[in-house]
Amino acid sequence: MSADDYKLGKSPTKESSVKESTAFEKVRVEESGIKETAIEEIAIKEKSAEVNNEELHLFKRVKVGRTNVLRVVKRLPFGAYLSPSSSKGFDVEEILLPKRYEPEGLKVDDLIKVFIYFDSEGRIIATTDIPLAQVDECAYLKVVDVNNVGAFMDMGLMKDLFIPYAAQENPMVVGESYVVHLHLDEHSGRIMGSSKLDKYLLEESHYHKAGQAVDLQIFAKTDLGYKAVIGSTYQGLLYNNEIFQEVNIGDKFKGFISGVRGDKRIDLALQQASEKTRGDLANQILDFIAEQGGSTTLTDKSSPEDIHKQFKVSKKSYKKALGALYKRRQILIEKDKISLG
């Protein structure tokens, strides 16, 4: 298969099964303990059964692209062999942990936490190095090389993460960083990445509830605001008028679900809008109006920036608090000012 053929290949989605294929990969020479600056491109030979039956069986028992806890079954001068099996017979399925990754004092029958991936020769191999991201996760990674088949990103291992051109939302540039989703290639089972996150992240949710705390990572800018990864499975929208701090692609935040729309898409916020926080805000507003002599021109028509400057909340939260105060007849809302009731 040519490089051009490979560039046109499809990346897997969450529903894809792991199959075998030809792939071009960039490899770092792993004979030394450091990354080699000279890059070698190799074509992995196409085979009808690229991973033999034993490897396929082993593939089902370990999580490739993830950390696994395996047992040491034997030690040799060049490394230790690990197994996901408790069996000690001669038919034990084994994964090599190269000597350079062995912790001091490692013994047969020890359990060890390792990351599993395919090396440049198509063999399943283990490392005690933990990458910046694992399969089914998203991460903000830096591009270290671009060539005629795609881009390569530093993922914290000697072998870089491959992003084929077909999996790039926009052409990647050396030295720049992008949020990518890591997955197993649907043919070869090797770890690959994609910046086309819409293909992997669910937009509709029947699970999330307003006020729920979530982990967020910003991955794209839109006219309405910023799109963010929720955990590692969903995506949501953080509106411009709800943002009052510096936000950049790749940033991680503790955020909240502000609501789930009728179409089940998720709206996000960086501040929690609870009854308690609204109550606290209402008291702050009353104190502020009193300090201003009984009235203020900071109304529900004021700019989001002016509101945030004074109360450190969004305009939406400010208007809700004003509404609550008005219903309790604690304030009067006029065209250009708010007064104590």
Mean pLDDT for the stretch of residues 169-197: 94
The set of long-range contacts for 323-326, using a CB threshold of 8 Å and a minimum separation of 24, is 324/278, 324/282, 325/282, 325/285, 325/286
Q: Could you tell me the CATH number of the domain that includes residue 27?
A: 2.40.50.140
Range name among 10-14, 59-63, 238-242, 313-317 with the lowest pLDDT average? 10-14
Q: Do both 279 and 311 map to the same domain?
A: yes
Rounded mean pLDDT, 213-235: 95
Q: Which amino acid is at 323?
A: G
The proportion of the chain whose per-residue pLDDT surpasses 70, expressed as a percent, equals: 78
In the 3-class helix/strand/coil scheme, how is 271-306 assigned residue by residue? CCCCHHHHHHHHHHHHHHHHHCCCEECCCCCCCHHH
Q: Which of 208, 207, 237 is nearest to 224 (CA)?
A: 237
pLDDT at position 100 over 90? yes
d(CA 142, CA 153): 5
Q: Are residues 20 and 90 in the same domain?
A: yes
* pLDDT at residue 138, as a whole number: 97
Segment 188-218, tens digit of pLDDT: 888 999 999 999 999 999 999 988 999 999 9
* CB < 8 Å & 24+ apart, contacts of 274-280: 274/211, 277/317, 278/317, 278/320, 278/321, 278/324
- Residue 55 pLDDT > 80, yes or no? no
In this prediction, residues 3-16 reach a mean pLDDT of 40
Q: Residue 170 carries which side chain, given as an amino acid letter?
A: N
- What average pLDDT score do residues 101-117 get? 94
Q: Is residue 259 part of a domain?
A: yes
- Does position 48 have pLDDT exceeding 70, yes or no? no
Highest mean pLDDT among 22-36, 224-238, 275-289: 224-238
- Please determine, for residue 43, whether its predicted confidence score (pLDDT) is greater than 70: no
pLDDT at 219: 97
> Is residue 133 one of the residues assigned to a domain?
no
Q: Tell me the C-alpha distance between 143 and 298, whole Å.
A: 47
- Residue ending a domain, among 269, 289, 304, is 269
Is the model's pTM score more than 0.85?
Answer: no
Same domain for 288 and 253, yes or no, is no
Residue 203 within a domain:
no
Residue 2 in domain: no
Euclidean distance between CA atoms 312 and 325, whole angstroms: 18
More reliable by pLDDT, 12 or 132: 132
Statement to judge: residues 306 and 329 lie in one domain: yes
Shared domain check, 185 and 282: no
Mean pLDDT of all residues belonging to the chain:
80
User: Residues 155, 161: contact at Cβ < 8 Å?
Assistant: yes
Is 205 among the domain residues?
no
Side chain identity at residue 315, one-letter code: K
Give the structural domain span for 302.
275-340
